[in-house]
Amino acid sequence: MEQQQPPISDYGFLSDSRSGALVGKDGSVDWWCPDRFDGSSVFARLLDPGAGHFQLAPVGVGGQGYRVERAYLPDTLVLRTVHHTPHGSVAVVDALAAEVGARAHELGKNSPAVLIRVVQGLSGRVRMALDFAPRPEYGLLTPYLHEQPDGGVLAGAGPIVLMLRAGGLHLRAGTDRVTHEFEVSAGQVIGIDVAFGEAYGDAPARVDPLATLAETTQAWQAFRETHGYSGRYPDLVKHSSTVLTGLTYARSGAVAAALTSSLPEQIGGDRNYDYRYSWLRDFSLTMRALWVAACPDETSRLFAWATRSIGRFGDEPVPVLFGLEGERDISEHHCSHLLGYRGSRPVRVGNDAWRQRQLDVPGEVMSAVWRLRDYLGATFEGELCEMVLGLTEQVASTWRLPDRGIWETRGEERHYVSSKVACWLAMDRAVGLADRLGDRADPRRWAKIRDEIRDTVLREGWNERIGAFTGAFGSPELDASVLALPVTHFLPATDPRMRSTIAMVERELGTEGGLLRRWTTDPAGFLLCSFWLVECLVMTGEQQRAEALFERVAGYSNDVGLFSEQIDLSSGMQLGNTPQALSHIGLINAAWRITRPDSY
């Protein structure tokens, strides 16, 4: 049965660079995994109506005469929602708390795991309703609730505790939730917070919600002040870079692919995956986006995390993704007790794509090494040298094998064109880095393999009958991933074969709304591919068309500038996990390509 949860675009994103939360236009926090992004949830109504939430909104929210407007405070992920009712207006300012005194690159390293909600009366007199119903471990646990002498309520179940405090309000514990109504007049301010703690470890932090909100706002703004961007569409780029910072796990530097798990690519479908991990495939794209947005510290930390996570090489392929602290085994299981977003099942925790052979991974990492080469020294030593040599030799010995491709299909392995191009990229970068790698470098052999890969792609990937490079060797099926050929400089966009491919992909996979599907049977527009098309148009000299397409695709963000993974072609609604790092990365890179068409 389809569950009528709010549209994905209704949610705003909060982050403390340790974890993240989603809060809807109706004032309900429907997703929060407070310990870390890929940890267990305490609120998961996003995936099942009974899996926990914390709603704070006017009584009768959504009724006649009611409307909402919201925006982030400038240069932050602090969200201000204004509820206009027939009786007056009230604002709720939501944030995940930064550590007191945190500034710039300290943001998130020691966050206290506290959700702040500050109610501000703006006009009239508004009756508010609080509904606090935590359900830890994805809804498996219903906590015991204990009233506290200071008027708060302690919720405890399994390994976690949550402390709810609400200014001067005296809260009463129900059987399985806390409900409370109160009135707010113009000028009145009430600070509410929910602090996370461990049942057998650290107790929940105690904070002053108003002071902590001010500290958190200043921490975000100080962070943004250290980053500059001088290209086109600066507001969009700066906001997307803030979202990427919000998806960065500050303790390690890893960037989570998205905040959520199991939001579907198609309502009622089963392609519902857990994206709360860090993909090496996204590595070079992420590095480029952070570099464009002038975030050098983040690029260095992300690179250090990848080097450590990959470790020493064995016979197994390098995994495409890791946990946020470099965990390799993130085996997948189904949460069969959850109904899924609007009935889309299964709900997954973990992602078995870590087991797949995906030949593009070394190329993505090597591309990132190349981008940072001048900052990594004239001679590579130790772990860095071992990683580069190991990746290069792994590509040299495996590039002829089939794999699962960048879309991580769970069917048979094939010879995907984009994977082979990434193998070429790895060998090309290895040749360019050879003088930094010592006596074991073999640039002559590597160059020969690189050229063999290129010849193979040009011969086997080109389909003369279609007049385009297709998704896999010998296949007649188009795939938007081949737009990576000019983006990686495998072939110039102006090459006749590439011009023909770009035109064919745009004609057959494009939509009236300007979006691009990944393949002909894909039911939704994939935002990253749409931004790739923008880059390709720039590189073919079609600057005005590229700008028009960029602005159309950028318009698919929600009211607070967030992108999920895909857009439904019939309704225009957002689909897939959110906020999606790759969509924001695609925007940043496309904006820079428009600014600097010759950028590498």
More confident residue, 295 or 312: 312
Same CATH topology for 8-225 and 234-595?
no
What are the pLDDT digits (tens) for 85-122? 999 999 999 999 998 877 655 677 789 999 999 999 99
What are the pLDDT digits (tens) for 311-327? 887 778 889 999 999 99
User: How many CB atoms sit inside 10 A of residue 334's CB?
Assistant: 14
pLDDT given at position 232 = 97
User: Cα 446 to chain center, whole Å?
Assistant: 35
Residues 6+ away with beta carbon under 8 Å from 451: none
Residues 6+ away with beta carbon under 8 Å from 575: 8, 263, 264, 265, 266, 267, 524, 564, 565, 566, 567, 568
Average pLDDT over residues 258-265: 98
Asked whether the beta carbons of 5 and 46 are under 8 A apart, the reply is yes
Residues 6+ away with beta carbon under 8 Å from 325: 249, 251, 252, 254
Q: How confident is the model at residue 301 (pLDDT cuts 50, 70, 90)?
A: confident
pLDDT given at position 370 = 92
Give the DSSP H/E element, type plus range, for residue 397.
helix 382-398
DSSP states along 504-555: HHHHHHB-TTS-B-SSTT-SEEEHHHHHHHHHHHHHTT-HHHHHHHHHHHHT
pLDDT given at position 64 = 86
Asked whether the beta carbons of 393 and 426 are under 8 A apart, the reply is no
- Buried b or exposed e, range 146-166, using 16+ CB within 10 angstroms: eeeeeebbbbbbeebbbbbbb
pLDDT given at position 121 = 98
More confident residue, 281 or 334: 334
What are the pLDDT digits (tens) for 428-463? 999 999 999 999 999 999 999 999 999 999 999 999
**Residue ranges per structural domain of the chain:** 8-225, 234-595
pLDDT given at position 1 = 31
Does the pLDDT of residue 579 top 50, yes or no?
Answer: yes
Give the DSSP H/E element, type plus range, for residue 439.
none
Strand partners, 153: 147, 164
* Topology given in CATH for the domain delimited by 234-595: Glycosyltransferase (1.50.10)
What are the pLDDT digits (tens) for 144-184? 999 999 999 999 999 999 999 998 899 999 999 999 999 99
Does the pLDDT of residue 284 top 90, yes or no?
Answer: no
Does the pLDDT of residue 3 top 60, yes or no?
Answer: no
Instruction: Write the burial class of residue 474 (CB in 10 Å: 0-12 exposed, 13-18 middle, 19+ buried).
Output: exposed
* Topology given in CATH for the domain delimited by 8-225: Beta-galactosidase; Chain A, domain 5 (2.70.98)
**Residue 167 half-sphere exposure, CB side, CA atoms within 13 Å?**
17
Q: What is the dihedral of CA 410, 411, 415, 419, to 10 degrees?
A: -10
Q: How far apart are the first and last CA of the chain?
A: 49
Residues 6+ away with beta carbon under 8 Å from 491: 485, 497, 498
The residue type found at 315 is: D
Residue for token pair 């646990």: 141
What are the pLDDT digits (tens) for 217-261? 999 998 877 778 889 999 999 999 999 999 999 999 899 999 999
Whole-model pTM: value is 0.96
pLDDT given at position 294 = 60
Cis upstream peptide for 362 (omega within 30°)? no
pLDDT given at position 2 = 37
Residues 6+ away with beta carbon under 8 Å from 316: none
Q: Which residue, 265, 163, 171, 217, is CA-closest to 14?
A: 217
